[in-house]
Structure 1
Amino acid sequence: MEMAEEQGKDLVQMRYDQETMTSTVKILDYGKYMYLKQKEDREKKKNQKPNVMKELKLNYSIGENDLALKIKKAKEML
């Protein structure tokens, strides 16, 4: 704690282990840490693919070649 005070930074608990009752801590600027964490979370959310429902319609009078093409497309969707 003294080292963090001397550097003018914060002591941040990163992890707590229940079994050994020990904490993992880091000395860092908490405001900057939270800013970077939020920025990282926004990037992850931005890069997520949206869930899109895909449909494949078949007709009873479909040709053999068209059916093969539809099967190929269905495999790509999975």
Structure 2
Amino acid sequence: MINEQIRDREIRLIGSNGEQLGIMSAREAMKLAEEAELDLVKIAPNAKPPVCKIIDYGKYRYELARKEKEAKKKQKTVEVKEIRLSPNIDTNDLNTKVNAAKKFLSKGNKVKITLRFRGREMAHIAQSKHILDDFAKEVEDMAVVEKAPKQEGRSISMVLAEKR
């Protein structure tokens, strides 16, 4: 809220240089802001009494936008990469998939390992669970199982995350 929008009876006022001007009525604060040719801006509406500051509103909005943009820049997004396996995978193929998973994990991504069953393979789900366990053992030096293997329809999947 700015200027005339502030309808509180009493407010705590902070001057344009950051000095405390004390508790006063909103009208008095508005007069002080007009004398300084600046805006009265409510900074902390939930405080008792609300805190207002005499500042240039346009400059204030610009500073907020810049801080927000800077925070966004420092944010790191974590992607989930998926690796699909089949129950009749050979050891060399499994090693290739393990190396791919290690590469993803080293870049800071999470890896979802999906063991897909097709047709008659559905009859042998119990015998195939060891593939995911072997996979987890292969990458346990650099990854931790974030979500344990769980059957979802025609597939079993687990999520691995980089060790901290």
TM (normalized to structure 2)? 0.36
Number of residue pairs aligned between Structure 1 and Structure 2: 70
RMSD, aligned α-carbons: 2.6
Compute the displacement of 1:51 (Å). 1.7
Pair 1:72 & 2:72 matched: no
1:2 maps to which residue? Answer: 31
Pair 1:47 & 2:47 matched: no
2:44 to 15, 19, 23: 15
Larger-gyration structure (1/2): 2
Letter in 1 for 2:111: E
2:60 maps to which residue? Answer: 33
- As a proportion of its length, which structure holds more strand? 2
Residue 49 of structure 1 aligns to a residue whose secondary structure is coil
Change (3 A) 1:56 1:15: closer
- As a proportion of its length, which structure holds more helix? 1
Contact preservation (8 Å) 1:56, 1:70: no
Aligned-pair identity (%): 32
Separation (CA, whole Å) in 2 of partners of 1:12 and 1:30: 7
Higher relative contact order (CA 8 A, sep 6+): 1
Separation (CA, whole Å) in 1 of partners of 2:65 and 2:39: 18
Compute the displacement of 1:3 (Å). 1.2
- Deviations along 1:3-28, one digit per CA (max 9) or x if unpaired, are 1111110000012237x5x3210000
Separation (CA, whole Å) in 1 of partners of 2:112 and 2:68: 35
TM (normalized to structure 1)? 0.70
Change (3 A) 1:15 1:70: same
Separation (CA, whole Å) in 1 of partners of 2:66 and 2:143: 37
Residue 8 of structure 1 aligns to a residue whose secondary structure is coil
Compute the displacement of 1:56 (Å). 7.2
Compute the displacement of 1:55 (Å). 2.1
